[in-house]
Amino acid sequence: MQANPSRIPLSVLDLAPIVEGGDAAQSFRHTVELAQHAERLGYRRYWLAEHHGMPGIASAATSVLIAHVSGHTRTIRVGAGGIMLPNHSPLVIAEQFGTLEALFPGRIDLGLGRAPGSDHATARALRRNLDSDPEQFPRDVVELMDFLSDAPRQAVRAVPGIGAKVPVWILGSSLFGAQLAAMLGLPHAFASHFAPQQLMQAIEIYRATFRPSEHLDKPHVMLGFNVIAADSDEQAAVLATSLQQAFVNLRSGRPSRLPPPAPGFAERLGPAERAMLDSVLACTAIGAPATVRRTLEAFVENTQADELMITSQVFDHAARLRSYELTAGAWALRQSSTATSSSGTASTAKPAR
């Protein structure tokens, strides 16, 4: 059970979207503005995701962008949600995140995923040598964590990297990530914002099989959630059509830049496409602050999440900033009300920083 629901923090997942008519340079300017906005609003983390060959996502060089965002903020934790480790050698990632931690001490997170973050052709261009061994990812995670430890067992040293206090998270959209995070005693972030089908089973497996470690005393779950907030339910519904179009385009094999809103888009779709959207976007809140608050409350009650990571794919930058502002305000109201009615105490586990 959640010990103190009034303390559940919100974080930000940014895909650095490239909108129709925009470019990567504009996307990066917007990313910095959103990170600074999120910091002022009290969000805990600001994570960027590694994707390649995607016309609507600019965060391919994830470590570079993390450095850029960290240099333009002061207190918010910045990290990868995540680094797709099969694309990289563990030593290179240890050096990159050792460098980031040296530059921005105490503010860097490292989330690790096993998907390529691209299609097969792009994955081959990235890696040259595709390894289908299912045990390779766990081995790479352990090797990377060893490079970041105070006393690595390997002859090679990651410099920078050795002794870096970078919290490592295991990301997942299936049961595999939950099992690995539990086995290694690491915090787990589940991509329920686009792959919610195995969410509850993954949470159950992670919590039931978790092994305490030097990194974490007890399970810690962060869940992805889409939020499109506006001043009215009607305005939010229109803004959400950009996200809906982007998913339909992606699942139809024609990934695109983030399209402008198209009022009534979902109503014009066929049954198969509507069913796909209902499935993929099951973990989504669209509406005014009160609507968003009710939806998030129900989700937390159902999952007992320790943290929520909010992603808001909105075409207009000002409306996107407003969405995060309204969400933070709605959750603050929720926290105020639960704080006055809850007598629970905060977890004594080592925090997932």
Quick count: other Cβ atoms within 10 Å of Cβ 258?
22
Please answer whether residues 63 and 97 qualify as being in contact, where contact means their C-beta atoms are separated by less than 8 angstroms: yes
Residue recorded with tokens 């002794």: 163
Residue 336: per-residue pLDDT: 57
Residue 134 — pLDDT band, cuts 50, 70, 90? confident
Torsion of CA 268, 199, 82, 27, to 10 degrees: 20
Asked if pLDDT for residue 342 goes beyond 90, the answer is no
CATH value at residue 321: 3.20.20.30
* pLDDT tens-digit map of 309-326: 999 999 999 999 999 999
The pLDDT value given to residue 143? 97
Confidence of residue 335 (pLDDT cuts 50, 70, 90): low
Structure token pair of residue 295: 């939806």
Q: How many domains does the chain have?
A: 1
At residue 351, the pLDDT reads: 43
Q: Is residue 352 part of a domain?
A: no
Q: Please state the separation of Cα 96 from the chain's center in Å.
A: 19
Residue 127: its pLDDT value, please?
A: 62
Instruction: Give a yes or no: residue 234 inside a domain.
Output: yes
Tell me whether residue 353 is in a domain. Answer: no
Check the CA dihedral 180-278-54-27 and report its sign. Answer: negative
Does a structural domain hold residue 347? no
**Cβ neighbourhood burial of 278 (10 Å; 0-12, 13-18, 19+):** exposed
Lowest mean pLDDT among 9-13, 114-118, 174-178, 205-209: 114-118
Residue 132 has pLDDT above 80, yes or no: no
Can you tell me the mean pLDDT for 260-280?
Answer: 95
| Least-confidence region, from 114-128, 138-152, 177-191 | 114-128
CA atoms of 33 and 16, how far apart (whole Å) = 11
State the pTM of this model: 0.92
Residue 267, in any domain of the structure: yes
- pLDDT of residue 7 exceeding 80, the answer is no
Q: pLDDT tier at 236 (50, 70, 90 boundaries)?
A: very high
133: pLDDT confidence band, cut at 50, 70 and 90? confident
What was the pLDDT predicted at 280?
95
Q: What is the mean pLDDT of residues 132-158?
A: 92
Q: How many contiguous H segments (helices) and E segments (strands) does the chain have? A: 11, 9
Phi then psi dihedrals of residue 41, to 5 deg: -80, -10
As a whole number, mean pLDDT of residues 238-250 equals: 97
Q: What's the rounded mean pLDDT across residues 216-232?
A: 98
Q: What is the pLDDT of residue 115?
A: 80
> What is the predicted pLDDT for the residue at 116?
67
Range with the poorest average pLDDT among 128-142, 176-190, 237-251: 128-142
User: Where do we find the tokens 């309204």?
Assistant: 326
Q: What percent of the chain has pLDDT over 70?
A: 90
In a domain, 305, yes or no: yes
Average pLDDT of the chain to the nearest whole number: 91
Query: H/E/C letters for each residue in 107-138?
Result: CEEEEEECCCCCCHHHHHHHHCCCCCCCCHHH
Confidence label for 348 from pLDDT (cuts 50, 70 and 90): very low
Task: Kindly state whether residue 346 falls inside one of the protein's structural domains.
Answer: no
In a domain, 351, yes or no: no
The CA-based dihedral angle spanning residues 56, 60, 66, 67, taken in that order and rounded to the nearest 10 degrees? -120
Task: Give the domain extent around 163.
Answer: 5-341
Position 131 scores a pLDDT of 59
State yes or no: pLDDT of 154 exceeds 80.
Answer: yes
Q: What is the mean pLDDT of residues 159-172?
A: 96
pLDDT at 97 > cutoff 90: yes
What is the mean pLDDT of the segment spanning 151-176?
96
Region of residue 16 (left: phi > 0; alpha: psi -120 to 50; beta: else):
left
CA 293 to chain centre: 20
